[in-house]
């Protein structure tokens, strides 16, 4: 029995729809005077962040607190990790403290998988982003935002994203967000097109369940949602394109390009946005841009995941993953 959330690819369609439906109910808690549910009272969740992150950590923390879990924040900086402690020892320390779930962000792809499958700990492991691999809760909150905007809040209950055309633009090579989104959106029946300069498309992309294009302008009129990804300067060790200006002219979303999208289409951005680079301020501030909504939806999605993994005596999400040999 699996009780972890490591990769968006592990989720079946029914699991994903259950998480989205649960998040829809969780979202209503935010409108109440007391934004708290007693559901995870007495459960301890550790936010184990080996990589810098503000919004994901705060989002998880808000979700955990709204469900009444006890929250411990652990950042690698200034901790025993900077003194040379291994992941195994850190994990076993947490286990000894009686932790029920570990939310982990790690620079190395596969670290959450290792933690979940090594037998070091009994706690549920939730991947909050590992290297260039996966960021499943981001993909879930993006899918949730799309379903709310493109299908409808109430009309969307029980529905997937069948037939919706999603375009993901930007740094696919370094982006765990793109990979998680491709996996989940494919599971939910959407058609995904990746748009990026050839240098920012990973090797092996032809095995992904999506299309790849190098031309943004021809893709925009056929999109129900356009997701702009940040060009991750901190991961750029080599020159992937001549200048930022050139990137911005070919792959940036400005008002002219937005006008070419269908009337109902939305612009998404997982944040943090670099205004003037992949998105202009005019687009970022328009009604069609869901960046702020995505942040709010992130808390609802993380509440749903935490509830479904920790709320009962066993998880409600049934994974179909291959065991480590």
Partner 1 sequence: MDRQQDTQASDARPVLEGPDIARVLTRIAHEIVERAKGADDVVLLGIPTRGVFLAQRLAAKLEEITERKISLGSLDITMYRDDLRMHPPRALARTEIPGDGIDGRLVILVDDVLFSGRTIRAALDALNDIGRPRAVQLAVLVDRGHRELPIRADYVGKNIPTSLRETVKVMLAEEDGRDTVLLGAKQTSQ
Q: Tokens 């652990």 belong to which residue?
A: 74
Q: Which of 28, 30, 8 is nearest to 319 (CA)?
A: 8
Does 84 bind partner 1 (CB under 8 A)? Our answer is no
Q: Is 272 annotated as a binding residue?
A: yes
Q: Which helix (H) or strand (E) holds 52?
A: none
Output the six-digit token pair for 185. Answer: 């959106």
Among 121, 166, 291, 308, binds partner 1 (CB under 8 A): 308
- Secondary-structure breakdown of the chain: helix, strand, coil percentages, each rounded to the nearest 5: 40, 15, 45
131 known ligand binder? no
φ, ψ dihedrals at 297, nearest 5°: -65, -30
Query: CA 152 to CA 272: how far, in whole Å?
Result: 26
Tell me: does residue 144 bind partner 1 (CB under 8 A).
Answer: no
Dihedral of alpha carbons 6, 65, 140, 309, sign = positive
Interaction between residue 270 and partner 1 (CB under 8 A): no
Q: Which is nearer to partner 1, 27 or 91 (CB)?
A: 27
Question: Least distance to partner 1 from the beta carbon of 135, Å?
Answer: 23
Q: How far apart are CA 251 and CA 240, in angstroms?
A: 13
Bridge-based pairing of strands 44-49 and 70-75 is: parallel
At residue 213, φ and ψ (nearest 5 deg) are: -135, 150
Least Å distance, CB 141 to partner 1, is 17
Work out which of 28, 77, 83, 325 binds partner 1, going by CB under 8 A.
28
Q: How many CB atoms lie within 10 A of CB 54?
A: 10
- Which member of 74, 113, 251, 307 binds partner 1 (CB under 8 A)? 307
Give the range of 109-117, 276-284, 287-295, 306-314 binding partner 1 by CB under 8 A.
Answer: 306-314
Q: Which two tokens stand for residue 101?
A: 């779930």
Nearer to partner 1, 243 or 313 (CB): 313
Q: Does 14 bind partner 1 (CB under 8 A)?
A: no
Site string for partner 1, 38-77 (x = CB under 8 A): xx--------------------------------------
**For residues 256 and 314, which CB has a smaller minimum distance to partner 1 in the complex?**
314
Q: How far is the CB of 213 from partner 1 (least distance, A)?
A: 39
Please give the structure tokens belonging to residue 279: 């998105």
> Is 83 annotated for ligand binding?
yes
Element (H, E) at 281: helix 281-284
Question: Judged by CB under 8 A, which of 6, 7, 20, 32 binds partner 1?
Answer: 32
| Shortest Cβ 90–partner 1 spacing (Å) | 28
> What are the start-end ranges of the H helices in 67-161?
87-96, 111-117, 136-146
- Taking alpha carbons only, the member of 184, 124, 178 closest to residue 160 is 184
Residue 21 is a binding residue for partner 1 (CB under 8 A): yes
Does 314 engage in binding with partner 1 (CB under 8 A)? yes
Q: How far is the CB of 6 from partner 1 (least distance, A)?
A: 19
Using CB under 8 A as the binding rule, whether residue 315 contacts partner 1 is answered as yes
The binding site comprises 55-56, 83, 105, 135, 138, 176, 230, 271-272
Q: Which residues of this chain interact with partner 1, rule CB under 8 A?
A: 18, 21-22, 25-26, 28, 32-34, 36-39, 307-308, 311-316
């Amino acid at each position: 029995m699996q009780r972890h959330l490591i990769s968006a690819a592990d989720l079946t369609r029914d699991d994903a729809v259950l998480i989205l439906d649960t998040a829809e109910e969780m979202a209503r808690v935010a409108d109440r005077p007391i934004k708290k549910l007693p559901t995870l009272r007495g459960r301890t969740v550790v936010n184990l962040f080996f990589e810098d992150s503000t919004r994901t950590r705060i989002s998880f923390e808000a979700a955990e607190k709204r469900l009444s879990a006890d929250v411990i924040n652990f950042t690698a900086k200034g901790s025993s990790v900077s003194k040379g402690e291994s992941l195994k020892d850190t994990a076993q320390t947490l286990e000894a403290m009686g932790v029920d779930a570990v939310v982990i962000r790690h620079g190395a792809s596969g670290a959450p998988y290792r933690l979940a499958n090594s037998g070091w700990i009994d706690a549920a492991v939730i991947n909050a982003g590992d290297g260039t691999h996966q960021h499943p809760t981001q993909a879930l909150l993006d899918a949730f935002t799309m379903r709310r905007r493109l299908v409808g809040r109430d009309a969307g209950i029980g529905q997937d994203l069948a037939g919706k055309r999603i375009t993901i633009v930007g740094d696919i090579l370094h982006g765990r967000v793109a990979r998680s989104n491709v996996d989940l959106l494919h599971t939910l029946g959407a058609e995904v097109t990746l748009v990026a300069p050839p240098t920012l498309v990973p090797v092996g992309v032809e095995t992904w369940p999506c299309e790849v294009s190098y031309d943004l302008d021809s893709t925009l009129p056929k999109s129900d949602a356009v997701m702009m990804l940040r060009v991750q300067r901190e991961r750029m060790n080599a020159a992937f394109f001549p200048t930022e200006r050139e990137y911005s002219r070919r792959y940036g979303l400005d008002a002219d390009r937005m006008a070419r999208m269908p009337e109902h289409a939305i612009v998404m951005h997982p944040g943090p946005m670099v205004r003037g680079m992949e998105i202009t301020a005019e687009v970022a501030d328009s009604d069609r841009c869901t960046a702020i909504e995505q942040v709010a939806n992130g808390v609802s999605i993380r509440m749903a995941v935490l509830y479904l993994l920790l709320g009962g005596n066993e998880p409600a999400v049934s994974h179909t993953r291959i065991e480590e040999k």
